[in-house]
Structure 1
Amino acid sequence: MNDLTRQNKIRNFVQMNQRPYTTTLTISLLVSNSIKTIRNCMESLQPLLYQVPSELIVVDTVGPENSDGSLAIAEKYADKVVHFKWCDDFAAARNAGLKEAHGKWFMFIDDDEWFDDVSELVEFFNNENEQNKYFSLAYNFHNYYDSTGTNFKLTKSNRCSRLWNYSHFSGKVHEFLDPTYSPTKYVTSFVHHYGYAKEVGKNKFKRNDKLLKSIVSKSHQDMHSWAQLIAGYDRDTSKNREKITYFAELALRNFQKINNPKENEQTFAAAILGYWLQSASLDKNWHQVINLAKNYLKIMFLRNYDLCMIDYFVFNALIQLNSKDNLKTIFNEYLMNFNMLKDNEENLLQQYTPFLSYTVSYTKLANMTSTVLSHLIEVKDWNECSNLINQLPLSSNLDNFSQVLLTICQISFKNNNPTILADVWRKINDKESNCLKLGEIFNSYKLSLTLEDETKFMELLTRTNINHPYFKLQQAELYNENTNEREQLTERLANNKIICSSPYEELFILLVTCKKDPSSVVLSLDFNELNSLVNYINTFFLKRIKSIPNFVNKMEKCYPQCPQRDLLCMNLRQTYLFSNQILLTDIYREIDNYVCDSLNFAHKIYNVENFQLNLNNLLPANFKFAYYLHSALSSKKMQNEVNYLKNLNLALKAYPKGNLLIKKLIFNFDNKLKKVKHNQQEFNQLAAQIKIKIRALIAADQKQVALPLLKSLVEIVPNDSEATDLLHQITK
């Protein structure tokens, strides 16, 4: 269907079924007793009420005499207040507000909910051409588990629709507006909802549980109420899981008695089955999971979304049972249904339900993919690996597939097949941001390899024949140092306005090795990008530790001094000095340079006063370490052993990561002390022997022979009182 035909169909349907209206938007608000949140709710609606032709209808469900003050606050904003006598029926309360609505569009909200930002909604309701494309509007909900505001479940909700002549609410609990047609406009605006946070949700759960049990006891085939009843139970306890199992079995028994069940009844039945499978999984009844899915899928006509949910639980059961033969079949079903949903956002919004929505996500697909790929690698089925990779929706959500992409790198490398990498690149290269992310992943895999394999992987990347700067960078690295090819390609990349942000960090290394000033590719980096460059270069040189001094020396010659250079030098020298591969003689050659780099950089970003007298506690630990190390080295030069050891210990206390370096320095100092002590002991023994010989000469009246020997001894050991007394005795 082309866009024009679609628009004509929408227009004709609206003309026949749209309820008459006098304003663009009706917002209907149920007010109970939520004094803590009502002001947030009202304030969040103000931009809509002021900037969109609209009306606010407040439905009072407690009565003025029982209100905690929420009603009085809401009345100040309302265009109309409807007093509804509460009868344990949320749909009836909603219908009371719906009856008074005059809007083209109808939005409903509670007094414990509020929007974070309504700018997208304002834009939509002020754009008639955009409105004419849709029948409903969906946005996100943050359903908080507690009052901290950090732990929440993200759900999509279709809580806004055009008003039709036959619009009405159904469901005494967890009511819904019926009908809600697609096409649906999806916006990223979201609502904060604390209604079921632990601190306030217990009473609501008890109320809903009682109401829902009453409903299903009378309406055995009300699948919506059965699903809501079961979804309300916490699955963390075995007692609750027993209840879920009991109610799910009872509900699905009643489902089987429905003649020609409607689509929504099928959907709710699938959710009930999903909760049963979840409980069986938590109880580790893996065979039951597989049998339940097998038996009930025969009697249900399910949508892609529901099939994904059920396949997710079956897949995990097969893993636990180590049943790898059927694993690929279930995964392929999940992937096929997932792709059908993600290829059509409208279809996804239409099928979405908040029930077990975590089972249908890119994260779960990525985890399942990693499992299947690991099995295929194990059996070396490279063709099937390649087929699977080609079906993945990588371009839609690359971040969730990082681990999968690392596995794909492994497959391509082990199979020596650049086509796999080329196919992945072409799948995602519609966005440059995806290309950069994939380059990061290639780099991450490359850094995990040995030096020999790292070179082979770069060769593999260049064999993809992809004309992109990232692949040109790999080509430049493969050229030998000091060759014209390497220098020319490196210069072209640098002149191509590429900076050393991810994944181009190695351009910096190439420029330095070619003795070119890297300032132009570093200067525009922000703080996070600079830190990322530093971390990458450190990781790069972990396999090349002994080449760090040479690289840093080159950097200092071609890169004018600046804070960025000091930071890079400081971190590289620290990596070198902290390594267990470096000998003490190498440490003494670089340690002064490391201290100098660190203090130069620190003095440029911190006040000098922070380094005077007592170090400021706000100074980062690595700068304190460098300061104490500087003091220790100065003490050593002045032969102040006490201060030397004291400052080394202070350095270690300030920065425990320097443990290996400090231990080496202290060990060397101890060894020297022991050597000096040992030499002194040997010398004392020799002096004692000489004194015995001198006494013998004196006793033999050979004082003139003993005198030069004794004078030499006194010069060597001036503090030896015995030798001094003997000298006085002879000279008399």
Structure 2
Amino acid sequence: MDIILTISLLASNRRESLERCLDSLKPLLVKIPSELIIVFTGTDEKVLEIAQKYTPQVITFEWCDDFSAARNIGLKAAQGEWFLYIDDDEWFDDVEEICQFFLSGEYKHYHSAHYIQRNYDNWNGTKYSDFSAFRMVQRYPESRFQGAIHEELVPRIEPCKYLQTCVHHYGYVKDAENRNIQKTSRNIPLLLQAIESHPKQVKNYIQISKELELAGDWKAAEEYCRRGLCVCRESGDLYSSGWFEAYLSYLVSNKPGNSSAILELETLITQEALTELICLVLYQQLIHLCREAKEPEKAVCYGYKFEKLLKEMDENKKLWEQQTYGEFCEGYIKTPDHLYGARVDCVACALKLDAQEDAFFFLKRLPWEQGDILCRYYPEFERWKEIYTSSFRKVFSKFWTDASIPSDASNSLREGEALPVYLLFQKALCLLQDNKTDEGVALLLQCMTHPDSDEAYLRQLLLKEAIRHQISVSLLAKQADWDTWVFVAKVVEELPYTLNSRIQACEENLKEDYPFHSLCLKKHRLRQKLSKGFPLWEELIQTLEAYCLCIMEFYRGLYHDEIFEVKNISSLPNEYRFASTVLEALERLEQMQMPEAVRLLGEALHIMPDMTGVITELFRQAARRMDNPALHAGEEFLKLAGQMKDTLYALLDTSQTVQASQILKQVLPLMPEELELIWIGQELIRRRKL
């Protein structure tokens, strides 16, 4: 049986990822006549054992700081008609497309192929960039790898098949401690050496620009990017120059000084023969830069140019494949952060200009049907509502009043479609503002049960408005488990204190059916009262006690009784331990055991430092009370004080201010907190000025 495909893998000492890599290759090895060759460059015997489980063709290679030398060992041993190479820190998502490429015979019409390398920026897999990687080729006698680092397989013969198969790669994640320094410090010297030996080899400039940027040396990255662009211009390599122009736009856009970056990118667009794809990259950068530089007119102008060119590219799909170079591809342009980020920038700039038609043009091109993407822009929308209140309402209301929603925009809201939840929410607010209360409340309730209403920020918005308008929040509580209901803390924190009584009403509304949800809301309401209500002594003590009791009731409803035994106290949440300690301190204050109360409050402060403001005020007011002789006096003193106040008022009535001043001078130090005496003192001063 003829071998159709050789898969060559470099294995170093990455035992953690090697087996996942090999596991992802199984369907290829099973479905296609193929061979697996592993070139072992490491020293870990465990890695060697893993490799030998999958293939007898394991070639040991002594590492010599030359990736091409190692790759060529695998290429030399290959027997397949086609050759695919991969690293041990990569693994395929799904290889079915590659399988069908060979099984269908389609491979006979091509000489090379690309697939997607997804390079992640973080370990949780949420940030990444896609790179169109040239990794498969019809094998020829002259095929070889060149370049000591970031090696290149030559020759690259057309036609080329662009596959959408994705290989995952975490090799460039910037580690929190060393920012991937080990890998970068290895690569940069090798690349510098390669540039010195082969100053006209374009790929070395591409790779060192990326490595230097990864290492945080933006200035050097820009320098080598410019040098690589010069090499391309000298050789007439327009294809590679497109990559340098796009990457240069990225580098200059991220350094200080927006004006110079805008000028440079504008010069590139007007003076260079750029491909349409590279123009799109530059337009996206310019839109963002112009917004940052407070040049909204320019941002909107480039936004329209971007949309026009994007439409032309989508109408001629072949251009995407022909102009792709590395990570600069259709996927790069249409990555949500790039595509929708640019459109959001344009909307913001149009609103700033009060250009409502322009704002609506870009706004309707956001992915309204994709709630998981759109939700990241909700905070931005809410900022617009605060800054551009009138324009915001007029622009957003077009979604339910304007019948001119275009049908030719792929990511826009279609005429006749049901409103997405955020637009439904804004419509409800408009109705409420227009005193159409019944309709507005009905829509808000509809939002609460909408399939997309489970997004955390949207729930915060819904809860805020429900509190403002005194609408039952039971529907929100019904859909929110404990992990998500904690958003009430953020809501209460952001609401003005004037709505504290309305929060209490919502809390009461939940009490019967959702007691724990109610307790959670009560806890944050009382905390708001403590921090924003500025209560004085009696109210401060009562509110703090109620807050602590609420916390204890909350956690006692969540945990079994045995967890509250003294021996387990340290394992309880800080909030519970704080409440327990403060309640004990308040008891000591009532008993006038000040030293012990101070110690306990200090302990509570150590448990929850974010309660510093409340505890500090408690200390201040307690100290004032300790210095107030009236608090330590008996009933006879208080009776006498009352008589003295009556006497002072009588003296004032008869304008005997001298006598009144003499009596006040003796009484006020004994009752420094007595407001009536303070008022009398101020009245005497006023009369003295007359």
The reply to whether TM is greater than 0.5 is: yes
Matched, 1:247 2:227: yes
| Separation of aligned partners in 2, 1:436 and 1:681 | 65
| Separation of aligned partners in 2, 1:507 and 1:318 | 34
Matched, 1:90 2:62: no
Flag the 1:349–1:546 CA change in 2: closer, same or farther, 3 A: farther
What are structure 1's unaligned runs of at least 5 residues? 1-20, 259-264, 443-456, 463-473, 688-732
Flag the 1:501–1:101 CA change in 2: closer, same or farther, 3 A: same
Is the 8 Å Cα contact of residues 85 and 136 (structure 2) preserved in structure 1? no
Which residue, out of 482, 494, 517, partners 1:527?
482
Secondary structure of the structure 1 residue equivalent to 2:7: strand
- CA positional deviation for 1:283: 7.7
| Separation of aligned partners in 1, 2:445 and 2:367 | 36
Matched, 1:309 2:281: yes
Matched, 1:158 2:136: no
- CA positional deviation for 1:624: 1.9
Flag the 1:206–1:195 CA change in 2: closer, same or farther, 3 A: farther
C-alpha distance after superposition, 1:428-455 (max 9, x if no partner): 668x999456678x6xxxxxxxxxxxxx
Partner of 2:337: 363
Which residue, out of 52, 59, 78, partners 1:100?
78
Matched, 1:596 2:513: no
Which residue, out of 358, 361, 372, partners 1:387?
361
Partner of 2:245: 273
Matched, 1:46 2:20: no
Alpha-carbon RMSD: 5.5
Partner of 1:669: 622
Flag the 1:39–1:642 CA change in 2: closer, same or farther, 3 A: closer
C-alpha distance after superposition, 1:681-731 (max 9, x if no partner): 9978999xxxxxxxxxxxxxxxxxxxxxxxxxxxxxxxxxxxxxxxxxxxx
Is the 8 Å Cα contact of residues 124 and 130 (structure 1) preserved in structure 2? no
- CA positional deviation for 1:109: 0.9
| Separation of aligned partners in 2, 1:334 and 1:109 | 36
C-alpha distance after superposition, 1:85-123 (max 9, x if no partner): 9996839945963883436x753113x4332xx462268
Is the 8 Å Cα contact of residues 17 and 90 (structure 2) preserved in structure 1? yes
Is the 8 Å Cα contact of residues 144 and 153 (structure 2) preserved in structure 1? yes
Flag the 1:595–1:84 CA change in 2: closer, same or farther, 3 A: closer
| Separation of aligned partners in 2, 1:368 and 1:400 | 14
- CA positional deviation for 1:354: 4.1
Aligned runs of 1:327-726 on 2, under 5 Å? 327-337=299-309, 351-354=323-326, 360=333, 361-364=335-338, 368-369=342-343, 372-392=346-366, 397-399=373-375, 401-402=377-378, 404-406=380-382, 409=385, 413-415=389-391, 417-418=393-394, 420-423=396-399, 435-436=420-421, 458-460=428-430, 462=431, 503=458, 522-523=477-478, 525-533=480-488, 535-536=490-491, 539-540=494-495, 542-556=497-511, 559-560=512-513, 562-582=515-535, 584=537, 586-587=539-540, 590-613=543-566, 616-635=569-588, 643-677=596-630, 680=633
Secondary structure of the structure 2 residue equivalent to 1:617: helix
C-alpha distance after superposition, 1:390-425 (max 9, x if no partner): 445665642554455345546873226445355399
C-alpha distance after superposition, 1:136-195 (max 9, x if no partner): 5633343689xx999996443435558588995675453147347676442455134369
Secondary structure of the structure 1 residue equivalent to 2:572: coil
Secondary structure of the structure 1 residue equivalent to 2:9: strand
Partner of 1:193: 171
C-alpha distance after superposition, 1:608-630 (max 9, x if no partner): 45545477233222222221233
Flag the 1:543–1:353 CA change in 2: closer, same or farther, 3 A: farther
| Separation of aligned partners in 2, 1:232 and 1:672 | 66
| Separation of aligned partners in 1, 2:392 and 2:261 | 42
Flag the 1:58–1:512 CA change in 2: closer, same or farther, 3 A: closer
Partner of 1:454: none
Secondary structure of the structure 2 residue equivalent to 1:528: helix
- 2:530 corresponds to which letter in structure 1? L
Flag the 1:78–1:182 CA change in 2: closer, same or farther, 3 A: same
Secondary structure of the structure 1 residue equivalent to 2:94: helix
| Separation of aligned partners in 1, 2:121 and 2:392 | 49
Partner of 1:206: 189
Secondary structure of the structure 2 residue equivalent to 1:52: helix
What are structure 2's unaligned runs of at least 5 residues? 175-179, 406-410, 641-690
Is the 8 Å Cα contact of residues 36 and 55 (structure 2) preserved in structure 1? yes
- CA positional deviation for 1:544: 0.6
Partner of 1:56: 35
- 1:569 corresponds to which letter in structure 2? K
Flag the 1:649–1:388 CA change in 2: closer, same or farther, 3 A: same
C-alpha distance after superposition, 1:264-296 (max 9, x if no partner): x42311223345556666485955873575367
Flag the 1:674–1:500 CA change in 2: closer, same or farther, 3 A: farther
Secondary structure of the structure 2 residue equivalent to 1:386: helix
- CA positional deviation for 1:499: 8.3
Flag the 1:38–1:243 CA change in 2: closer, same or farther, 3 A: same
Structure with the greater alpha carbon radius of gyration: 1
Matched, 1:294 2:267: yes
Equivalent pairs: percent with the same residue? 13
Is the 8 Å Cα contact of residues 37 and 57 (structure 2) preserved in structure 1? yes
Question: Alignment length, in residue pairs?
Answer: 608
Secondary structure of the structure 1 residue equivalent to 2:273: coil
Range 279-288 or range 564-573, more displaced = 279-288
Aligned runs of 1:122-133 on 2, under 5 Å? 125=99
Flag the 1:309–1:229 CA change in 2: closer, same or farther, 3 A: same
- 1:332 corresponds to which letter in structure 2? Y
- CA positional deviation for 1:573: 2.5
| Separation of aligned partners in 2, 1:366 and 1:301 | 23
| Separation of aligned partners in 2, 1:231 and 1:496 | 44
| Separation of aligned partners in 1, 2:296 and 2:469 | 52
Flag the 1:303–1:41 CA change in 2: closer, same or farther, 3 A: farther
Matched, 1:142 2:95: no
Flag the 1:362–1:182 CA change in 2: closer, same or farther, 3 A: farther
Aligned runs of 1:109-124 on 2, under 5 Å? 109-110=86-87, 112-115=88-91, 118=92, 120-121=94-95
- CA positional deviation for 1:598: 1.5
TM-score (norm 2): 0.68
Aligned runs of 1:215-230 on 2, under 5 Å? 215-216=198-199, 220=200, 223-224=202-203, 226-228=205-207, 230=209
Flag the 1:280–1:526 CA change in 2: closer, same or farther, 3 A: closer
Matched, 1:77 2:54: yes
| Separation of aligned partners in 2, 1:319 and 1:487 | 37
| Separation of aligned partners in 2, 1:329 and 1:608 | 66
TM-score (norm 1): 0.64
- CA positional deviation for 1:600: 1.3
| Separation of aligned partners in 1, 2:119 and 2:138 | 26
Secondary structure of the structure 1 residue equivalent to 2:169: strand
- 1:596 corresponds to which letter in structure 2? L
C-alpha distance after superposition, 1:186-211 (max 9, x if no partner): 24551343699421443433333333
